[in-house]
A and B are shown apart, each in its own frame.
Chain A
Amino acid sequence: MKIVVAIKQVPARDSQLRVDDTGRWIQEADLNFEINEPDAYALEEGLQLKEKNGGEVIALCLGPGRASSTIREALAKGADRAIHIEEESVATLDTLGIARLLAKAIGDEKPDLILTGLQSDDLGYGQTGVVLAELLGWAHSTIIMEVEVRNESIRVKRELEGGWFQHIEMPLPAVLTIQSGISKLRYASLMGIKKAKTKEVKRLTLEDLQVHAMSQTNVERVYLPQKSKQTQLLEGPAKEVAAKLVEKLKFEARVI
Protein backbone atom coordinates (compact mmCIF):
# COMPACT_ATOMS: atom_id res chain seq x y z
CA MET A 1 0.00 0.00 0.00
CA LYS A 2 1.41 3.34 -1.03
CA ILE A 3 0.50 6.15 1.33
CA VAL A 4 1.16 9.86 0.96
CA VAL A 5 0.97 11.90 4.17
CA ALA A 6 0.66 15.68 3.82
CA ILE A 7 2.54 17.39 6.62
CA LYS A 8 2.77 21.07 7.32
CA GLN A 9 5.14 23.00 9.51
CA VAL A 10 3.46 25.57 11.78
CA PRO A 11 4.55 27.82 14.67
CA ALA A 12 4.95 25.88 17.93
CA ARG A 13 1.76 25.77 19.93
CA ASP A 14 2.78 28.01 22.79
CA SER A 15 4.22 30.74 20.52
CA GLN A 16 3.66 34.36 21.41
CA LEU A 17 2.26 35.69 18.17
CA ARG A 18 2.95 39.24 17.02
CA VAL A 19 1.52 40.86 13.91
CA ASP A 20 4.28 41.90 11.48
CA ASP A 21 4.89 45.30 9.87
CA THR A 22 2.72 44.57 6.85
CA GLY A 23 -0.20 43.96 9.22
CA ARG A 24 -1.13 40.97 7.13
CA TRP A 25 0.81 38.13 8.73
CA ILE A 26 2.82 37.39 11.87
CA GLN A 27 6.45 37.98 12.73
CA GLU A 28 8.11 34.66 12.09
CA ALA A 29 11.68 35.54 12.95
CA ASP A 30 11.80 34.50 16.62
CA LEU A 31 9.32 31.65 16.46
CA ASN A 32 9.94 27.95 16.82
CA PHE A 33 8.24 25.70 14.31
CA GLU A 34 6.93 22.16 14.56
CA ILE A 35 4.75 19.70 12.69
CA ASN A 36 1.05 20.61 12.66
CA GLU A 37 -0.43 18.48 15.44
CA PRO A 38 -3.03 16.44 13.50
CA ASP A 39 -0.44 15.85 10.77
CA ALA A 40 1.73 14.06 13.33
CA TYR A 41 -1.24 11.73 13.88
CA ALA A 42 -1.77 11.36 10.12
CA LEU A 43 1.88 10.32 9.80
CA GLU A 44 1.56 7.89 12.70
CA GLU A 45 -1.54 6.35 11.09
CA GLY A 46 0.32 6.05 7.78
CA LEU A 47 3.26 4.33 9.44
CA GLN A 48 0.97 1.92 11.31
CA LEU A 49 -0.93 1.06 8.12
CA LYS A 50 2.35 0.38 6.38
CA GLU A 51 3.49 -1.86 9.23
CA LYS A 52 0.25 -3.85 8.98
CA ASN A 53 -0.17 -3.96 5.21
CA GLY A 54 3.28 -3.38 3.79
CA GLY A 55 4.09 -0.66 1.30
CA GLU A 56 5.56 2.79 1.44
CA VAL A 57 4.97 6.10 3.20
CA ILE A 58 5.81 9.34 1.42
CA ALA A 59 5.80 12.62 3.34
CA LEU A 60 4.62 15.60 1.29
CA CYS A 61 5.22 19.14 2.45
CA LEU A 62 4.67 22.55 0.92
CA GLY A 63 6.68 25.06 2.89
CA PRO A 64 9.76 27.25 3.14
CA GLY A 65 13.31 26.00 3.57
CA ARG A 66 12.92 25.77 7.34
CA ALA A 67 10.30 23.03 6.84
CA SER A 68 13.14 20.58 6.08
CA SER A 69 13.51 20.01 9.82
CA THR A 70 9.92 18.75 9.99
CA ILE A 71 10.45 16.61 6.91
CA ARG A 72 13.61 15.12 8.39
CA GLU A 73 11.71 14.27 11.55
CA ALA A 74 9.04 12.46 9.53
CA LEU A 75 11.75 10.48 7.75
CA ALA A 76 13.37 9.68 11.10
CA LYS A 77 10.08 8.35 12.39
CA GLY A 78 9.83 5.99 9.45
CA ALA A 79 8.58 7.70 6.31
CA ASP A 80 10.44 6.18 3.35
CA ARG A 81 10.96 9.33 1.35
CA ALA A 82 9.67 12.86 1.01
CA ILE A 83 8.58 15.51 -1.46
CA HIS A 84 9.28 19.09 -0.47
CA ILE A 85 7.63 21.86 -2.48
CA GLU A 86 9.79 24.81 -1.50
CA GLU A 87 7.91 28.06 -1.25
CA GLU A 88 8.60 30.92 1.15
CA SER A 89 5.16 32.54 1.25
CA VAL A 90 2.64 29.77 1.79
CA ALA A 91 0.37 32.07 3.83
CA THR A 92 -0.57 34.01 0.69
CA LEU A 93 -1.90 30.89 -1.05
CA ASP A 94 -5.48 29.85 -0.58
CA THR A 95 -6.63 26.32 -0.03
CA LEU A 96 -7.37 25.69 -3.73
CA GLY A 97 -3.87 26.83 -4.66
CA ILE A 98 -2.30 24.69 -1.94
CA ALA A 99 -4.32 21.62 -2.95
CA ARG A 100 -3.48 22.13 -6.63
CA LEU A 101 0.22 22.24 -5.81
CA LEU A 102 -0.01 19.14 -3.64
CA ALA A 103 -1.98 17.29 -6.33
CA LYS A 104 0.55 18.21 -8.99
CA ALA A 105 3.47 17.19 -6.81
CA ILE A 106 1.86 13.80 -6.18
CA GLY A 107 1.77 13.61 -9.97
CA ASP A 108 2.09 10.03 -11.11
CA GLU A 109 3.01 8.54 -7.73
CA LYS A 110 -0.46 6.89 -7.81
CA PRO A 111 -0.81 6.32 -4.07
CA ASP A 112 -3.65 4.17 -2.67
CA LEU A 113 -4.26 6.54 0.17
CA ILE A 114 -3.53 10.15 1.04
CA LEU A 115 -3.69 11.18 4.67
CA THR A 116 -3.83 14.79 5.80
CA GLY A 117 -4.47 16.42 9.14
CA LEU A 118 -8.02 17.65 9.60
CA GLN A 119 -6.92 21.24 10.09
CA SER A 120 -3.79 23.33 10.15
CA ASP A 121 -3.04 25.18 13.37
CA ASP A 122 -2.05 28.40 11.60
CA LEU A 123 -4.37 28.98 8.62
CA GLY A 124 -7.00 26.60 9.92
CA TYR A 125 -8.85 26.17 6.62
CA GLY A 126 -9.84 22.61 7.52
CA GLN A 127 -10.23 21.88 3.83
CA THR A 128 -7.03 21.00 2.04
CA GLY A 129 -7.60 17.23 2.15
CA VAL A 130 -11.16 17.50 0.83
CA VAL A 131 -10.18 19.86 -1.98
CA LEU A 132 -7.30 17.56 -2.90
CA ALA A 133 -9.70 14.59 -3.10
CA GLU A 134 -12.01 16.52 -5.42
CA LEU A 135 -9.12 17.61 -7.66
CA LEU A 136 -7.99 14.00 -7.94
CA GLY A 137 -11.55 12.72 -8.35
CA TRP A 138 -11.22 10.43 -5.31
CA ALA A 139 -13.54 9.56 -2.45
CA HIS A 140 -12.74 11.11 0.93
CA SER A 141 -13.84 11.29 4.51
CA THR A 142 -13.04 13.75 7.28
CA ILE A 143 -12.31 13.79 11.02
CA ILE A 144 -11.16 10.19 10.99
CA MET A 145 -10.48 8.26 14.19
CA GLU A 146 -9.76 4.75 12.82
CA VAL A 147 -8.77 3.19 9.51
CA GLU A 148 -9.29 -0.44 8.55
CA VAL A 149 -7.94 -1.64 5.22
CA ARG A 150 -10.03 -4.20 3.37
CA ASN A 151 -9.47 -5.55 -0.12
CA GLU A 152 -10.09 -2.72 -2.54
CA SER A 153 -11.69 -0.53 0.06
CA ILE A 154 -11.28 0.97 3.51
CA ARG A 155 -13.66 1.24 6.43
CA VAL A 156 -13.12 4.29 8.61
CA LYS A 157 -14.53 5.64 11.84
CA ARG A 158 -15.58 9.23 11.44
CA GLU A 159 -16.23 11.58 14.32
CA LEU A 160 -19.58 13.34 14.37
CA GLU A 161 -20.67 16.11 16.71
CA GLY A 162 -21.54 15.70 20.39
CA GLY A 163 -19.80 12.38 21.02
CA TRP A 164 -21.28 10.45 18.07
CA PHE A 165 -19.37 8.38 15.53
CA GLN A 166 -20.06 6.61 12.28
CA HIS A 167 -18.38 3.92 10.21
CA ILE A 168 -18.05 4.54 6.50
CA GLU A 169 -16.77 2.26 3.79
CA MET A 170 -15.29 3.67 0.60
CA PRO A 171 -13.24 2.52 -2.37
CA LEU A 172 -9.53 3.17 -2.80
CA PRO A 173 -7.81 5.39 -3.71
CA ALA A 174 -9.11 7.83 -1.11
CA VAL A 175 -8.16 10.86 0.96
CA LEU A 176 -8.71 10.90 4.71
CA THR A 177 -8.33 13.82 7.09
CA ILE A 178 -7.07 12.57 10.42
CA GLN A 179 -8.15 13.84 13.84
CA SER A 180 -5.62 14.50 16.62
CA GLY A 181 -5.28 11.99 19.41
CA ILE A 182 -6.31 8.87 17.48
CA SER A 183 -3.24 6.94 18.58
CA LYS A 184 -0.03 7.33 20.53
CA LEU A 185 2.74 9.09 18.64
CA ARG A 186 6.08 7.35 18.33
CA TYR A 187 9.43 9.00 18.89
CA ALA A 188 12.18 8.82 16.31
CA SER A 189 14.81 6.25 17.29
CA LEU A 190 18.52 7.03 17.09
CA MET A 191 18.71 4.52 14.27
CA GLY A 192 15.81 6.27 12.52
CA ILE A 193 17.50 9.65 12.83
CA LYS A 194 20.64 8.24 11.30
CA LYS A 195 18.81 6.54 8.45
CA ALA A 196 16.80 9.68 7.70
CA LYS A 197 19.94 11.38 6.40
CA THR A 198 20.18 8.88 3.57
CA LYS A 199 16.54 9.00 2.52
CA GLU A 200 15.41 10.74 -0.64
CA VAL A 201 13.88 14.22 -0.48
CA LYS A 202 12.61 15.37 -3.84
CA ARG A 203 12.64 19.15 -4.02
CA LEU A 204 10.24 21.04 -6.26
CA THR A 205 9.48 24.69 -6.77
CA LEU A 206 6.35 26.48 -7.90
CA GLU A 207 7.99 26.98 -11.28
CA ASP A 208 8.59 23.24 -11.62
CA LEU A 209 4.95 22.53 -10.96
CA GLN A 210 3.42 25.04 -13.37
CA VAL A 211 0.22 25.29 -11.40
CA HIS A 212 -2.35 28.04 -11.45
CA ALA A 213 -2.21 28.94 -7.78
CA MET A 214 -3.45 32.54 -7.89
CA SER A 215 -5.26 33.27 -4.68
CA GLN A 216 -8.95 34.20 -4.78
CA THR A 217 -8.84 35.35 -1.21
CA ASN A 218 -6.82 38.28 -0.03
CA VAL A 219 -5.97 38.74 3.63
CA GLU A 220 -6.17 42.47 4.19
CA ARG A 221 -5.45 42.63 7.88
CA VAL A 222 -4.52 40.37 10.78
CA TYR A 223 -5.25 41.49 14.34
CA LEU A 224 -6.12 40.46 17.88
CA PRO A 225 -9.82 39.59 18.23
CA GLN A 226 -12.06 41.89 20.20
CA LYS A 227 -13.38 40.71 23.51
CA SER A 228 -17.03 39.81 23.61
CA LYS A 229 -17.15 40.28 27.37
CA GLN A 230 -15.63 42.74 29.81
CA THR A 231 -13.22 40.54 31.68
CA GLN A 232 -12.50 41.58 35.22
CA LEU A 233 -8.85 40.74 35.75
CA LEU A 234 -7.95 39.72 39.28
CA GLU A 235 -4.35 40.61 40.01
CA GLY A 236 -1.80 40.07 42.72
CA PRO A 237 0.07 37.19 44.33
CA ALA A 238 -1.61 33.77 44.21
CA LYS A 239 -3.04 33.99 47.72
CA GLU A 240 -4.55 37.38 47.05
CA VAL A 241 -6.17 36.50 43.70
CA ALA A 242 -7.53 33.32 45.25
CA ALA A 243 -9.20 35.34 47.99
CA LYS A 244 -10.59 37.81 45.44
CA LEU A 245 -12.02 35.03 43.30
CA VAL A 246 -13.63 33.36 46.32
CA GLU A 247 -15.35 36.68 47.08
CA LYS A 248 -16.73 36.77 43.54
CA LEU A 249 -17.86 33.15 43.67
CA LYS A 250 -19.55 33.79 47.00
CA PHE A 251 -21.22 37.17 46.48
CA GLU A 252 -21.60 37.53 42.71
CA ALA A 253 -21.96 34.02 41.29
CA ARG A 254 -23.27 32.70 44.65
CA VAL A 255 -21.94 29.22 44.34
CA ILE A 256 -20.11 29.11 47.64
Chain B
Amino acid sequence: MILVFLERSGSDFHRLSFETLAAGQQLGAEMNLPVAAVVIGDGASEVPNATVFSITHPLLAQYTADGYTIALEQLIRAKQPTYVLLPHTYTVRDFAPKLATRFERVLVSDVVAMRAEGGNLLLVRQLFQGKLNADVRVSGVAPSFASIQAGVYRSDQLQAATANVEEFSVAIEASDIRSKPEEPFRETVRAVDLSAASVIVSVGRGIKEKENIPMIQELASALGAELAASRPICDNGWLPMERQVGSSGQTVAPKVYMAIGISGAIQHLVGMKGAKTIVAINKDAEAPIFEVADYGIVGDLFEVVPALTEAVKKARG
Protein backbone atom coordinates (compact mmCIF):
# COMPACT_ATOMS: atom_id res chain seq x y z
CA MET B 1 0.00 0.00 0.00
CA ILE B 2 1.01 3.60 -0.62
CA LEU B 3 -0.14 5.82 2.22
CA VAL B 4 -0.53 9.53 1.45
CA PHE B 5 -0.74 12.03 4.29
CA LEU B 6 -3.11 14.91 3.51
CA GLU B 7 -2.59 18.08 5.49
CA ARG B 8 -5.49 20.25 6.56
CA SER B 9 -5.15 24.00 6.43
CA GLY B 10 -7.96 25.72 8.30
CA SER B 11 -11.25 24.39 6.96
CA ASP B 12 -9.65 23.19 3.72
CA PHE B 13 -6.81 21.01 2.53
CA HIS B 14 -3.33 22.42 2.08
CA ARG B 15 -2.92 22.90 -1.66
CA LEU B 16 0.04 20.54 -1.70
CA SER B 17 -2.06 17.72 -0.22
CA PHE B 18 -3.84 16.82 -3.44
CA GLU B 19 -0.65 17.19 -5.48
CA THR B 20 0.85 14.55 -3.21
CA LEU B 21 -2.23 12.40 -3.59
CA ALA B 22 -1.82 12.65 -7.38
CA ALA B 23 1.80 11.55 -6.91
CA GLY B 24 0.64 8.58 -4.84
CA GLN B 25 -1.96 7.58 -7.41
CA GLN B 26 0.55 7.75 -10.28
CA LEU B 27 3.05 5.68 -8.35
CA GLY B 28 0.33 3.25 -7.32
CA ALA B 29 -0.61 2.74 -10.96
CA GLU B 30 3.06 2.24 -11.92
CA MET B 31 3.80 -0.20 -9.13
CA ASN B 32 0.42 -1.83 -8.98
CA LEU B 33 -0.13 -0.88 -5.36
CA PRO B 34 -3.35 0.35 -3.73
CA VAL B 35 -3.36 3.94 -2.53
CA ALA B 36 -4.83 5.08 0.76
CA ALA B 37 -5.05 8.62 2.10
CA VAL B 38 -4.98 9.68 5.73
CA VAL B 39 -6.53 12.81 7.17
CA ILE B 40 -6.12 14.06 10.72
CA GLY B 41 -9.17 16.19 11.53
CA ASP B 42 -12.25 16.83 9.39
CA GLY B 43 -12.69 16.50 5.69
CA ALA B 44 -12.01 12.81 5.07
CA SER B 45 -15.23 12.37 3.08
CA GLU B 46 -14.14 15.14 0.64
CA VAL B 47 -10.98 13.32 -0.40
CA PRO B 48 -11.09 12.15 -4.04
CA ASN B 49 -9.60 8.74 -3.31
CA ALA B 50 -11.21 5.35 -2.73
CA THR B 51 -9.61 4.51 0.63
CA VAL B 52 -9.36 7.20 3.25
CA PHE B 53 -8.37 6.77 6.88
CA SER B 54 -9.81 9.38 9.16
CA ILE B 55 -8.18 10.15 12.49
CA THR B 56 -9.97 12.44 14.89
CA HIS B 57 -9.06 12.98 18.51
CA PRO B 58 -9.45 15.96 20.86
CA LEU B 59 -5.69 15.99 21.44
CA LEU B 60 -5.11 16.36 17.70
CA ALA B 61 -7.34 19.41 17.29
CA GLN B 62 -4.22 21.56 17.13
CA TYR B 63 -1.08 20.42 15.38
CA THR B 64 1.78 19.22 17.56
CA ALA B 65 4.73 17.14 16.40
CA ASP B 66 4.18 14.71 19.28
CA GLY B 67 0.48 14.23 18.56
CA TYR B 68 0.83 13.77 14.81
CA THR B 69 3.79 11.43 15.17
CA ILE B 70 2.00 9.17 17.65
CA ALA B 71 -1.19 9.06 15.57
CA LEU B 72 0.56 8.30 12.29
CA GLU B 73 2.92 5.82 13.88
CA GLN B 74 -0.08 3.83 15.11
CA LEU B 75 -1.75 3.93 11.69
CA ILE B 76 1.43 2.86 9.90
CA ARG B 77 2.06 -0.01 12.31
CA ALA B 78 -1.51 -1.20 11.78
CA LYS B 79 -1.72 -0.83 7.99
CA GLN B 80 1.93 -1.49 7.08
CA PRO B 81 2.22 0.58 3.93
CA THR B 82 5.27 0.10 1.69
CA TYR B 83 5.56 3.80 0.96
CA VAL B 84 4.45 6.82 2.91
CA LEU B 85 4.21 10.05 0.91
CA LEU B 86 3.78 13.46 2.50
CA PRO B 87 3.53 16.98 1.09
CA HIS B 88 6.74 18.94 1.75
CA THR B 89 5.06 21.61 3.88
CA TYR B 90 6.35 23.40 6.98
CA THR B 91 4.20 21.12 9.15
CA VAL B 92 5.53 17.98 7.51
CA ARG B 93 9.10 19.29 7.88
CA ASP B 94 8.31 19.58 11.59
CA PHE B 95 7.09 16.03 12.27
CA ALA B 96 7.92 13.67 9.38
CA PRO B 97 11.64 13.25 10.20
CA LYS B 98 10.57 12.28 13.73
CA LEU B 99 7.98 9.85 12.41
CA ALA B 100 10.46 8.17 10.05
CA THR B 101 13.00 7.90 12.88
CA ARG B 102 10.43 5.97 14.92
CA PHE B 103 10.77 3.27 12.26
CA GLU B 104 14.54 3.74 12.05
CA ARG B 105 13.94 4.93 8.51
CA VAL B 106 15.12 7.98 6.62
CA LEU B 107 12.69 10.46 5.12
CA VAL B 108 13.74 11.39 1.60
CA SER B 109 12.77 15.05 1.65
CA ASP B 110 12.08 17.59 -1.06
CA VAL B 111 11.37 15.09 -3.82
CA VAL B 112 10.86 16.54 -7.30
CA ALA B 113 10.34 13.30 -9.27
CA MET B 114 9.71 9.62 -8.62
CA ARG B 115 9.70 6.55 -10.73
CA ALA B 116 9.49 2.82 -10.26
CA GLU B 117 12.68 1.26 -11.55
CA GLY B 118 13.51 -2.42 -11.32
CA GLY B 119 10.86 -3.08 -8.71
CA ASN B 120 11.94 -0.33 -6.37
CA LEU B 121 11.63 3.37 -6.15
CA LEU B 122 13.98 5.95 -7.58
CA LEU B 123 13.54 9.40 -6.10
CA VAL B 124 14.92 12.66 -7.43
CA ARG B 125 15.68 15.37 -4.89
CA GLN B 126 17.32 18.75 -5.00
CA LEU B 127 20.77 19.57 -3.74
CA PHE B 128 22.41 22.96 -3.27
CA GLN B 129 19.15 24.92 -3.22
CA GLY B 130 18.06 23.59 -6.56
CA LYS B 131 21.36 24.01 -8.39
CA LEU B 132 21.71 20.23 -8.78
CA ASN B 133 19.44 17.21 -8.72
CA ALA B 134 20.28 13.82 -7.25
CA ASP B 135 18.85 10.40 -8.09
CA VAL B 136 18.40 8.60 -4.79
CA ARG B 137 17.59 4.96 -4.24
CA VAL B 138 16.31 3.82 -0.88
CA SER B 139 17.19 0.45 0.55
CA GLY B 140 16.05 -1.41 3.64
CA VAL B 141 12.73 -2.65 4.89
CA ALA B 142 9.39 -0.89 4.43
CA PRO B 143 8.02 1.62 5.05
CA SER B 144 9.94 4.19 3.02
CA PHE B 145 9.09 7.83 3.59
CA ALA B 146 9.25 10.66 1.05
CA SER B 147 8.03 14.25 1.06
CA ILE B 148 6.98 15.76 -2.25
CA GLN B 149 7.88 19.31 -3.25
CA ALA B 150 5.24 21.80 -4.47
CA GLY B 151 4.40 22.08 -8.14
CA VAL B 152 5.76 18.68 -9.19
CA TYR B 153 2.50 16.79 -9.52
CA ARG B 154 -0.80 18.28 -10.60
CA SER B 155 -3.90 17.94 -8.51
CA ASP B 156 -6.05 18.23 -11.66
CA GLN B 157 -4.66 14.86 -12.71
CA LEU B 158 -6.22 13.04 -9.78
CA GLN B 159 -8.20 9.93 -10.64
CA ALA B 160 -11.14 11.04 -8.56
CA ALA B 161 -13.00 8.32 -6.69
CA THR B 162 -15.62 8.48 -3.98
CA ALA B 163 -14.09 8.27 -0.55
CA ASN B 164 -14.65 5.16 1.47
CA VAL B 165 -13.89 6.49 4.90
CA GLU B 166 -12.53 4.25 7.62
CA GLU B 167 -12.30 5.75 11.07
CA PHE B 168 -9.00 4.84 12.68
CA SER B 169 -8.93 5.34 16.42
CA VAL B 170 -5.67 6.24 18.12
CA ALA B 171 -4.57 6.07 21.73
CA ILE B 172 -2.98 9.32 22.91
CA GLU B 173 -2.59 10.71 26.41
CA ALA B 174 -2.41 14.40 27.23
CA SER B 175 0.98 13.77 28.82
CA ASP B 176 2.36 12.52 25.46
CA ILE B 177 2.16 16.03 24.08
CA ARG B 178 4.99 18.13 25.38
CA SER B 179 4.59 21.38 23.50
CA LYS B 180 1.84 23.94 23.93
CA PRO B 181 1.06 25.74 20.68
CA GLU B 182 -0.69 29.11 20.77
CA GLU B 183 -2.94 30.61 18.08
CA PRO B 184 -1.25 31.44 14.76
CA PHE B 185 -0.95 35.16 14.05
CA ARG B 186 0.23 37.62 11.43
CA GLU B 187 2.84 40.20 12.24
CA THR B 188 1.29 43.22 10.58
CA VAL B 189 -1.63 44.07 8.39
CA ARG B 190 -0.52 43.84 4.83
CA ALA B 191 -0.47 47.25 3.25
CA VAL B 192 0.71 45.93 -0.10
CA ASP B 193 -1.20 43.25 -1.92
CA LEU B 194 1.26 41.95 -4.45
CA SER B 195 -1.20 39.34 -5.68
CA ALA B 196 -3.13 42.07 -7.49
CA ALA B 197 -0.11 43.51 -9.34
CA SER B 198 0.13 42.90 -13.07
CA VAL B 199 3.86 43.57 -13.27
CA ILE B 200 6.33 42.81 -10.49
CA VAL B 201 10.00 43.69 -10.39
CA SER B 202 11.68 41.56 -7.75
CA VAL B 203 15.15 41.92 -6.35
CA GLY B 204 17.46 39.44 -4.64
CA ARG B 205 20.80 39.25 -2.93
CA GLY B 206 22.59 39.99 -6.21
CA ILE B 207 21.86 43.67 -5.44
CA LYS B 208 24.65 43.50 -2.80
CA GLU B 209 23.74 46.58 -0.73
CA LYS B 210 20.75 48.50 0.48
CA GLU B 211 22.09 51.59 -1.26
CA ASN B 212 21.47 49.90 -4.62
CA ILE B 213 17.76 49.23 -4.10
CA PRO B 214 16.67 52.62 -5.55
CA MET B 215 18.07 51.51 -8.92
CA ILE B 216 15.53 48.66 -8.92
CA GLN B 217 12.79 50.96 -7.63
CA GLU B 218 13.44 53.22 -10.58
CA LEU B 219 12.95 50.36 -13.02
CA ALA B 220 9.76 49.34 -11.24
CA SER B 221 8.42 52.89 -11.41
CA ALA B 222 9.25 53.15 -15.11
CA LEU B 223 7.29 49.93 -15.72
CA GLY B 224 4.45 50.90 -13.39
CA ALA B 225 5.32 47.75 -11.47
CA GLU B 226 5.22 46.74 -7.82
CA LEU B 227 8.56 46.17 -6.15
CA ALA B 228 9.11 42.80 -4.47
CA ALA B 229 12.05 40.84 -3.08
CA SER B 230 13.50 37.50 -2.06
CA ARG B 231 13.72 36.66 1.59
CA PRO B 232 17.28 37.79 2.42
CA ILE B 233 16.45 41.31 1.23
CA CYS B 234 13.53 41.49 3.67
CA ASP B 235 15.50 39.76 6.45
CA ASN B 236 18.12 42.48 6.11
CA GLY B 237 15.42 45.10 6.38
CA TRP B 238 16.26 46.55 2.96
CA LEU B 239 12.62 46.21 1.98
CA PRO B 240 9.62 45.58 4.26
CA MET B 241 8.57 41.97 4.94
CA GLU B 242 5.28 42.53 3.16
CA ARG B 243 7.16 42.65 -0.13
CA GLN B 244 8.62 39.18 0.26
CA VAL B 245 7.64 36.62 -2.35
CA GLY B 246 7.82 32.91 -1.60
CA SER B 247 6.65 30.17 0.70
CA SER B 248 6.85 32.30 3.80
CA GLY B 249 5.83 35.48 1.98
CA GLN B 250 3.26 36.22 -0.70
CA THR B 251 2.21 34.09 -3.65
CA VAL B 252 1.87 36.12 -6.81
CA ALA B 253 0.73 35.51 -10.38
CA PRO B 254 1.36 38.71 -12.37
CA LYS B 255 1.52 39.04 -16.15
CA VAL B 256 5.23 39.67 -15.86
CA TYR B 257 7.58 38.78 -13.00
CA MET B 258 11.10 40.09 -13.36
CA ALA B 259 13.61 38.37 -11.06
CA ILE B 260 16.78 40.42 -10.71
CA GLY B 261 19.75 38.89 -8.88
CA ILE B 262 17.57 36.08 -7.51
CA SER B 263 18.97 32.53 -7.66
CA GLY B 264 15.61 30.75 -7.79
CA ALA B 265 15.53 28.58 -4.65
CA ILE B 266 12.39 26.45 -4.45
CA GLN B 267 10.99 28.51 -1.57
CA HIS B 268 11.10 31.54 -3.83
CA LEU B 269 9.84 29.73 -6.94
CA VAL B 270 6.68 28.43 -5.27
CA GLY B 271 5.64 32.04 -4.72
CA MET B 272 6.01 33.21 -8.33
CA LYS B 273 5.93 30.20 -10.65
CA GLY B 274 2.37 31.07 -11.57
CA ALA B 275 3.43 34.28 -13.36
CA LYS B 276 2.49 34.33 -17.04
CA THR B 277 5.88 35.56 -18.19
CA ILE B 278 9.04 35.27 -16.13
CA VAL B 279 12.11 37.35 -16.89
CA ALA B 280 15.38 36.52 -15.15
CA ILE B 281 18.45 38.72 -14.96
CA ASN B 282 21.37 36.90 -13.36
CA LYS B 283 25.11 36.75 -13.90
CA ASP B 284 25.17 32.97 -13.37
CA ALA B 285 23.95 31.11 -16.46
CA GLU B 286 23.29 28.03 -14.32
CA ALA B 287 21.16 29.75 -11.68
CA PRO B 288 17.97 27.70 -11.13
CA ILE B 289 15.83 30.74 -11.91
CA PHE B 290 16.58 30.14 -15.60
CA GLU B 291 14.78 26.80 -15.35
CA VAL B 292 11.49 28.63 -15.08
CA ALA B 293 12.30 31.81 -17.03
CA ASP B 294 10.70 32.64 -20.38
CA TYR B 295 13.27 35.36 -21.10
CA GLY B 296 16.73 35.28 -19.64
CA ILE B 297 19.53 37.78 -19.57
CA VAL B 298 22.84 36.40 -18.39
CA GLY B 299 24.71 39.45 -17.23
CA ASP B 300 25.61 41.94 -14.56
CA LEU B 301 22.47 43.54 -13.19
CA PHE B 302 24.37 46.74 -12.50
CA GLU B 303 24.82 47.14 -16.26
CA VAL B 304 21.54 45.66 -17.46
CA VAL B 305 19.10 47.36 -15.10
CA PRO B 306 20.04 51.01 -15.80
CA ALA B 307 19.99 50.29 -19.55
CA LEU B 308 16.61 48.61 -19.19
CA THR B 309 15.14 51.49 -17.18
CA GLU B 310 16.25 53.90 -19.86
CA ALA B 311 14.83 51.74 -22.66
CA VAL B 312 11.50 51.38 -20.86
CA LYS B 313 11.27 55.13 -20.28
CA LYS B 314 11.97 55.74 -23.94
CA ALA B 315 9.39 53.21 -25.08
CA ARG B 316 6.76 54.80 -22.87
CA GLY B 317 7.61 58.26 -24.22
Contacts and interface: CB of A to CB of B under 8 A. Distances in A.
B286 interface: yes
Given A170-B179, A218-B137, A181 B296 contact: no
B127 A140 contact: no
Contacts of B108: 217
Interface stretch (A47-55, A63-71, A124-132, A186-194): A124-132
Interface string B90-119: 100111111011101111111010000000
Contacts of B214: none
B106 A216 contact: yes
Interface string A101-138: 00000000000000000000111111100110111000
B256 interface: yes
Interface in A53-78: none
Interface string B263-291: 00000000000001111100010101011
Interface residues of A, number: 78
Interface stretch (B38-46, B78-86, B181-189): B181-189
Nearest to B179: A170
A16 B132 CA distance: 11
Nearest to B233: A181
B248 interface: yes
A234 B296 contact: yes
Nearest to A26: B132
A204 interface: no
Interface stretch (A1-9, A81-89, A195-203, A221-229): A221-229
Contacts of B304: 238, 241-242
A80 interface: no
A180 B233 CA distance: 12
B128 A130 contact: no
Interface in B181-221: 181-187, 190, 198-199
Interface stretch (B22-30, B166-174, B308-316): B308-316
A221 B97 contact: no
Nearest to B303: A238
B201 to A, nearest CB: 11
B297 interface: yes
Q: Main SS of the interface on chain A?
A: mixed
Give the interface size class of chain B: 35 or more
Given A163-B250, A239-B307, A246-B311, A225 B98 contact: no
Contact of B312 (A126, A220, A256): A256
Given A162-B251, A220-B136, A95 B106 contact: yes
Given A131-B97, A133-B98, A180-B235, A143 B131 contact: no
B199 A255 contact: yes
B60 interface: no
A96 interface: yes
B256 A253 contact: yes
Given A122-B128, A217-B108, A232-B294, A160 B187 contact: no
Contacts of A207: none
Given A181-B231, A245-B308, A227 B291 contact: yes
Contacts of B315: 246, 250, 256
A255 B256 contact: yes
Interface of B: 65-66, 89-90, 93-98, 100-102, 104-110, 112, 122, 125-140, 178-187, 190, 198-199, 223, 231-232, 234-236, 241-242, 244, 247-251, 255-256, 276-280, 284, 286, 288, 290-299, 303-304, 306-308, 310-312, 314-316
